[in-house]
Amino acid sequence: MLTLEMTLAVQNLVAMQAFYTALLGSDPQVVWGDRYAGFQIYGQRLGLFRPRGEERDRWRSAQGAWSLCLYVPDLEAACQTVLAAGGQIESAAIAETYGRECYARDPEGNRLLLCQGEPPVTLPDPQPA
């Protein structure tokens, strides 16, 4: 079976684990010492890992084209959680066809897109061949 997990390299695993625990409202299901914390939310997986010392420069956060998109039941509450957990809100909420959204950053500068409303596309689970 194929499993897809988004993994995010972090410099401070303890701080980032606390941030995502607060934002996701769930403790990680898997923790491997000071190297990895894995969350599973509604069938989706997010892994946080701390690169080894010699690998850290390669994994430093850069402003790129990707965003971790989280659909939340209450956009204002999610924004308050981001701020309280050490993140930043980058934009005011704007209306979209599916609901409302705003951009945020986690404590290490990774972009988050917080959305309130129904995801625009729901894909069926793949069927075995």
pLDDT tens column, 72-112? 999 999 999 999 999 999 989 988 877 899 999 999 988 89
What does the pLDDT read at residue 36? 93
Phi, psi (deg, nearest 5) at residue 31: -135, 125
DSSP annotation of 42 reads T
What does the pLDDT read at residue 44? 85
Sheet holding 44-49, edge to edge: 5-9, 44-49, 36-41, 30-32
Encode pLDDT of 24-74 as tens digits: 999 999 999 888 999 998 888 899 988 877 766 666 656 655 778 888 999
Is the pTM higher than 0.85? The answer reads: no
Encode pLDDT of 3-32 as tens digits: 677 888 888 999 999 999 999 999 999 999
Between the alpha carbon of residue 96 and those of residues 71, 73, 118, the distances in Å are 13, 15, 11
Q: Are 104 and 20 in contact (CB under 8 A)?
A: no
